[in-house]
């Protein structure tokens, strides 16, 4: 009976994780590789190094040094021409950023360049979802990055 209950509890947690995975924004900080600029506008396809955190497909990206200009959402991540789901600290990957909002698409070279650091655009809601459903997937370094980004975005 206990095993059935634990199995049901795990299944329920997985189902709720699946429902909330679009709201969860994992923290990441990215450095642009200046020799790996493949497409400068809609979609932006560039090579980046993950400085710290975890980059996942679906992560909204912004540039804090340029008044938090919102670039778009990471729609795919590739390494050695193979698509991957996520990239962790230290990896050099190629990402495709698409703009789904009604805003005009941002342009590499005009709105941001290789000197800017890109970060995931976290919100209070995304932090709460991470705390509730994805606590096991987060490392201590990721939580430290969340604290830094909270101060940067002035989230209380």
For residue range 8-65, what is the model confidence (pLDDT) as tens digits? 888 887 787 777 777 788 999 999 999 989 988 888 999 999 999 999 999 999 999 8
The DSSP secondary-structure symbol of 3 reads H
Q: How far apart are CA 28 and CA 148, in angstroms?
A: 11
Secondary structure of 111-126 as H, E, C letters: CECCCCEEEECCCHHH
- Predicted TM-score (pTM) of the model is 0.85
DSSP 8-state class, residue 49 = E
Concatenating the DSSP letter of every residue in 83-152 gives EESEE-TT-EEEEEEE--SSSPPPBBTTTB-TTSEEEE---HHHHHHHHHH-GGG--HHHHHHHHHHHHH
80: left (phi over 0), alpha (psi -120 to 50) or beta: left
68-106, pLDDT tens digit by residue? 888 999 999 999 989 998 898 899 999 999 988 777 888
């Amino acid at each position: 009976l206990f095993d059935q209950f634990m199995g049901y509890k795990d299944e329920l947690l997985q189902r709720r994780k699946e429902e909330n995975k679009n709201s969860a924004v994992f923290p990441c900080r990215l450095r642009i590789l200046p020799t790996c600029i493949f497409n400068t506008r809609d979609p932006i396809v560039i090579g980046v190094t993950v400085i710290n955190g975890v980059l996942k497909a679906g992560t909204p990206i912004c540039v804090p040094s340029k008044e938090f200009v919102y670039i778009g959402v990471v729609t795919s991540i590739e390494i050695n021409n193979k698509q991957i789901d996520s990239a962790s600290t230290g990896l050099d990957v190629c990402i495709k950023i698409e703009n789904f909002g009604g805003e005009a698409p941002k342009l590499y070279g005009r709105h941001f360049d290789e000197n800017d650091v890109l970060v995931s655009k976290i919100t209070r809601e995304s932090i709460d979802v991470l705390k509730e459903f994805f606590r096991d997937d987060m490392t201590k370094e990721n939580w430290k990055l969340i604290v830094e980004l909270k101060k940067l975005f002035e989230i209380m």
